[in-house]
Chains A and B, each alone.
Chain A
Amino acid sequence: MRKIFANAAVREFIRIVLAVSIALLLGLIVTLLVSEDPWGAYKAFLLGPLSKFNRFGDWIEESITLIFVGLSVAIVFKAKQFSLAAEGQLILGALVSGSVILFVPIESAFLRITVAVLAAAAVGFIWGVIPGYLKAYLDANEIVSTLMLNAIALKMYDYFLTYHIKPEGAGYTASDFLPKAYQVPSFMPKFAGNLYEMFSKQTNITHFLYIMIAACVIGWFLMYRTPFGYELRMIGANIKFARYGGINTKQVIVLAFAISGIFAGLAGAHLAQGIHNKLILNISMGLGFEGIVVATMARNNPLFVPLSGLAYGYLRAGADIMERSSDMSREMVLVVQALIILLVSAEGILPVIQQRVNLNNGKGDGVGTAAVPEGGSDVIQ
Chain B
Amino acid sequence: MTPVIEMRNIVKMYSNGVVANKGINFSVERGEIHALVGENGAGKSTLMKILYGLEQPTEGELLLDGKTVEFKSPQEAIANGIGMVHQNFMLVPSFTVAENVVLGAEPLGKGGMLDTKQALQVTADLSKQYGLRVDADAVLDSINVGMRQRVEILKMLYRGAQILILDEPTAVLTPQETQELFVAVRALVDQGKTVVFITHKLREVKEISDRVTVMRDGKLIGTQNTADTTTEDMARMMVGREVFLNVNKAPQNRGDKVMEVQNLSYVSEVGRVMLRNVSFNVYAGEVLGIAGVEGNGQTELVEVLTGLRPAASGDAMVHGKVVTSKTPREVRMAGVAHIPEDRLTNGLALDASIEENLIVDRYFDPPFRKGLMIDRKMVLKQGQDLIEEFNIRTPNGQLPVTSLSGGNMQKVIVAREFSSNPKVLIASQPTRGIDVGATEFIRDQLVQKRTDGAAVLLISADLLEVMSLSDRIIAVYEGEITGVFPDAASVSEEELGLYMLGVKRQSFEEMEAYL
Contacts from A to B (Cβ < 8 Å): 225-227, 230, 233-234, 237-238, 240-248, 351, 354-355, 357-359, 361-363, 366-373, 375-376, 378-379
Cβ contacts under 8 Å, B15 to chain A:
351, 355
Cα–Cα distance between A225 and B374 once the two chains are bound (Å):
6
Say yes or no: B346 contacts A246, CB within 8 Å.
Answer: no
Please determine whether B373 and A225 come into contact, CB atoms closer than 8 angstroms: yes
User: Which of B332, B347, B398, B404 sits near A368, CB closer than 8 Å?
Assistant: B404
B15, B16, B22: most-surrounded residue (chain A CB, <10 A): B16
Docked pose: A371 CA to B372 CA in angstroms: 34
Q: Are A359 and B19 in contact (CB-based, < 8 A)? A: yes
Q: Flag if A237 contacts B349 (CB, 8 Å).
A: yes
CB neighbours of A240 from chain B (8 A): 345-346
What's the dominant secondary structure at chain B's contact region?
loop
Residues of B within 8 A of A371 (CB): 16-18, 402-403
Bitwise, B328-351 to A at CB < 8 A (1) or not (0) is: 110010000010100001111111
- Whether A372 lies near B403 (C-beta < 8 A) is yes
CA–CA, A354 to B15, complex, Å? 9
How far apart sit A244 and B306, CA to CA, in the bound complex (Å)? Answer: 8
- The reply to whether B405 and A368 contact each other, CB–CB distance below 8 Å, is yes
Point out the residues of chain B lying under 8 angstroms from A351, CB to CB: 15
A240 and B399 alpha carbons, distance in the complex (Å): 21
Does B352 sit at the interface, judged by CB under 8 A?
A: yes
In the complex, what's the smallest C-beta–C-beta distance from B274 to chain A, in angstroms? 19
Within the complex, the shortest CB–CB distance from B82 to chain A, in Å, comes to 28
Residues from chain A with Cβ under 8 Å of B328 in the complex: 243-246
Contact present for B329 and A237 (CB under 8 Å): no
Cross-interface CB contact of A244 among B308, B373, B393, cutoff 8 Å: B308
Complex: A244 Cα to B394 Cα, angstroms: 24
Question: Which chain B positions have C-beta within 8 A of A241?
Answer: 345-349, 360
User: Do the beta carbons of A354 and B364 come within 8 Å of each other?
Assistant: no
State how many angstroms separate the Cβ of A350 from the closest Cβ of chain B: 12
**Once bound together, how far apart are the Cα atoms of A368 and B395, in whole Å?**
9
Cβ of B369 and Cβ of A227 under 8 Å apart? Answer: yes
User: DSSP majority for the A interface?
Assistant: helix
Would A246 and B400 be within 8 Å (CB), given that A227-B369, A370-B17 are in contact?
Answer: no
Cross-chain contact A358 with B18 (CB below 8 angstroms): yes
Residue of A whose beta carbon sits closest to that of B376: A225
Among B368-412, those with CB < 8 Å from A are 369, 372-374, 376, 393-395, 398-400, 402-405, 408
Residues of B participating in the A interface, judged by any CB pair closer than 8 Å: 13, 15-19, 22, 217, 306, 308, 327-329, 332, 338, 340, 345-353, 356, 359-361, 363-364, 369, 372-374, 376, 393-395, 398-400, 402-405, 408
| Minimal beta-carbon separation of B378 from chain A (angstroms) | 13
Verify A237–B17 contact, CB threshold 8 A: no
Contact of B393 among A237, A354, A362, A367 (CB under 8 A): A367
Give the distance to chain A from B485, nearest Cβ to Cβ, in Å. Answer: 31
Q: Which of B308, B348, B398, B403 has the most CB of A within 10 A?
A: B403
Choice from A242, A246, A355, A369 contacting B403 with Cβ under 8 Å: A369
Chain A residues contacting B395 (CB-CB under 8 Å) are: 367, 369
CA distance A240 to B345 in the complex (A): 7
Contact A245 B360 (CB under 8 A): yes
Residue pair A368, B352 in contact (C-beta under 8 Å): no
Beyond A246-B328, A359-B19, whether A379 also contacts B399 by CB under 8 A is yes
- Docked Cα-Cα span, A238 to B400, in Å, equals 13
A247 to B329, CA, bound (A): 7
Enumerate the 9 nearest inter-chain pairs by beta-carbon distance, A residue then B residue, closest first: A358-B17, A245-B360, A246-B329, A237-B349, A238-B349, A362-B19, A244-B346, A368-B403, A241-B349
B346 with A379: CB separation less than 8 A? no
Whether B360 pairs with A366 at a CB distance below 8 angstroms is no
Q: Please, how many angstroms separate the alpha-carbon atoms of A373 and B17 in the complex?
A: 9
Chain A nearest CB, measured from B465 CB (Å) = 22
Min distance, Cβ A78 to any Cβ of chain B, angstroms? 12
Give complex CA distance A373, B399 in Å: 9
Query: Would you call B398 and A379 a contact (CB within 8 A)?
Result: yes
Most buried by A among B13, B329, B349, B405: B349
CA distance A313 to B332 in the complex (A): 48
**B18 contacts which of A238, A363, A370 (Cβ < 8 Å)?**
A370
**Shortest beta-carbon distance, B40 to chain A, in Å?**
13
Task: Give, as a whole number of angstroms, the nearest-CB distance from B456 to chain A.
Answer: 19
Contact of B360 among A247, A359, A379 (CB under 8 A): A247
| A372→B374 contact, CB < 8 A | no
Q: Closest residue to B330 on the A side, CB-wise?
A: A246
**Least distance between A85 CB and chain B CB atoms (Å):** 25
A276 to B505, CA, bound (A): 80
CA of A151 to CA of B19, assembled, Å: 51
Q: Complex Cα distance A245/B19, Å?
A: 32
Task: Determine whether the beta carbon of A372 is less than 8 Å from that of B400.
Answer: yes
> Given A234-B360, A373-B351, do A226 and B374 touch, yes or no (CB 8 Å)?
yes
- With a cutoff of 8 Å between Cβ atoms, the chain B residues found around residue A238 in the complex are 345, 348-352
A375: nearest residue on chain B (CB-CB)? B351
A230, B19: Cβ atoms under 8 Å? no
Q: How far is the CB of A365 from chain B (nearest CB, A)?
A: 9
Chain A residues within 8 Å of B340, by CB:
244
Interface residue from B13, B352, B356, B405 paired with A359 (Cβ < 8 Å): B13
Contact check: which of B353, B359, B403, B408 meets A378 at CB < 8 Å? B353
**List of B residues within 8 angstroms of A359 by Cβ:** 13, 17, 19
Which B residues touch A372, using CB under 8 A? 399-400, 403
CA distance A323 to B373 in the complex (A): 48
**Given the complex, which residues of A lie within 8 Å of B403, measured CB to CB?**
368-369, 371-373
14 A–B pairs (Cβ distance < 8 Å), ordered by A:
A226-B372, A240-B345, A240-B346, A241-B347, A241-B349, A244-B338, A244-B347, A358-B19, A362-B17, A362-B19, A362-B22, A363-B19, A368-B404, A378-B352
B390 to chain A, nearest CB (A): 16
For B361, the chain A residues whose CB sits under 8 A away are: 245-246
Give the shortest distance, in Å, between B42 (CB) and chain A (any CB): 11
Cβ–Cβ contact A357 & B17, under 8 A: yes
B222, chain A: closest CB distance, angstroms: 18
* Additional A-B contacts beyond A230-B356, A362-B13 (5; CB < 8 A): A362-B19, A366-B217, A373-B351, A373-B400, A373-B403
The CA of A243 and the CA of B346, in the complex, are separated in Å by 8
**Assembled-state Cα–Cα distance A136/B364 (Å):** 21
Q: Bound complex: CA of A359 vs CA of B306, how far in Å?
A: 42
> Complex: how many Å from CA A369 to CA B372?
34
